[in-house]
Amino acid sequence: MKLPRMGLGCMNLSHAYGIPPSPEEGLALLRAALDAGVTHLDTATLYGGGRNEELVGRALRGRRDEVVLASKGGMAQLDGVKVIDGRPSTLLAQVDASLDRLGVDHIDLYYLHRWDKTVPIGESVGALASAMDAGKIGAIGLSEVSVATLRSAQEVAPIAAVQNEYSLWTRNAELGMLSATAEDGIALVAFSPVARGFLSDSVGDPAALAEKDIRRKMPRFSSENWPVNAALLPQWRALAAEAGCTPAQLALAWLLSRGEHVVPIPGTTSVAHMRSNHAAVSLSVDAGLLERAGSLIDTSTVAGPRYAPGPAAEVDAETFEDAA
């Protein structure tokens, strides 16, 4: 399937980054996004324990045909605890629950949010294929997977999109997934494209983040690594100023330059930032400046792995540690 060049990640309207906005504020942002021409919304079973899907569903009432709607299953909150479960029965039940919460009769793109390593990937993908045959979903996606897992999944059903983390400071996709998806005509949907706020220059002091903000437990925001990473920001700001855009827009322009199949999905709680991010699609940034951006912020210049050991064990995407 052909996705719009950029989408809107809806997670932080309900989940993960401290105290989310009120449902009314979230709804206003989503409606403003639709009015601004955003035509790809990305949500998930996990986000807010289902509340994010309900919010997106409210925004889409009367406007369903305007967007490519994506959601995910295989990872959910049970009694407030995140559970990865890729059994076919679980996935089929979650597809139905997503449809109910969203208030739609089909979801255009449905991802396996995480590969449950206790379940063969073919069984999980086979369940989503049956949901596709039933008309409940339009296409199958995978999230945080390796090329090897993608290839195994493709033996069972066509895969339309892979959603992996990709940004200037997270280059794991360049260990094979960027080229594999390009070769097969698969969308590479880049989540956290502005590096969880780092590349939008919006973090400040990580110690001041809300108590439940997930970045508090991420190594790159630790007291050890943050000073090294923050030292890159003055040059980053200068590059954005030279390009005549915001730091976030420069990060998005760099990603868009990586291939026509690369689809960033920045998230925000600010209507102004949403509009600014969306405008990056039409930016023209000098190739030489983008190359300098890629040299300034790269695996070799960023301190710390992207996840702590526990969350790292949950993902399947290639790592630089394994490649070393």
Question: Is a pLDDT exceeding 80 seen at residue 324?
Answer: no
Amino acid at residue number 71: S
Mean pLDDT, range 269-280, rounded to an integer:
98
For the segment 144-179, what is each residue's pLDDT rounded down to a tens digit? Answer: 999 999 999 999 999 999 999 999 999 999 999 999
Closest CA to 252 of 242, 270, 267, 233: 267
Give the start-to-end residue ranges of the domains of the chain. 8-315
* Residue among 47, 110, 111, 166 flagged as catalytic: 47
Maximum C-alpha span of the chain = 53
Question: Is a pLDDT exceeding 90 seen at residue 321?
Answer: no
Structure tokens at 287: 């190739």
Closest CA to 166 of 199, 134, 137, 135: 199
The chain-wide mean pLDDT, for the chain, equals 97
Mean pLDDT, range 85-90, rounded to an integer:
98
Residues 39 and 52: their CA atoms lie apart, in Å, by 17
What secondary structure letter does DSSP report for 279? Answer: H
For the segment 93-144, what is each residue's pLDDT rounded down to a tens digit? Answer: 999 999 999 999 999 999 999 999 999 999 999 999 999 999 999 999 999 9
Residue 305 sits at φ, ψ, to 5 deg, of: -70, 165
**Known catalytic membership, residue 17:** no
The fold adopted by the segment(s) 8-315 is TIM Barrel (3.20.20)
Amino acid at residue number 135: G
- Place 208 in a pLDDT band, splitting at 50, 70 and 90: very high
Closest CA to 108 of 79, 77, 76, 68: 68
Mean pLDDT, range 12-32, rounded to an integer:
95
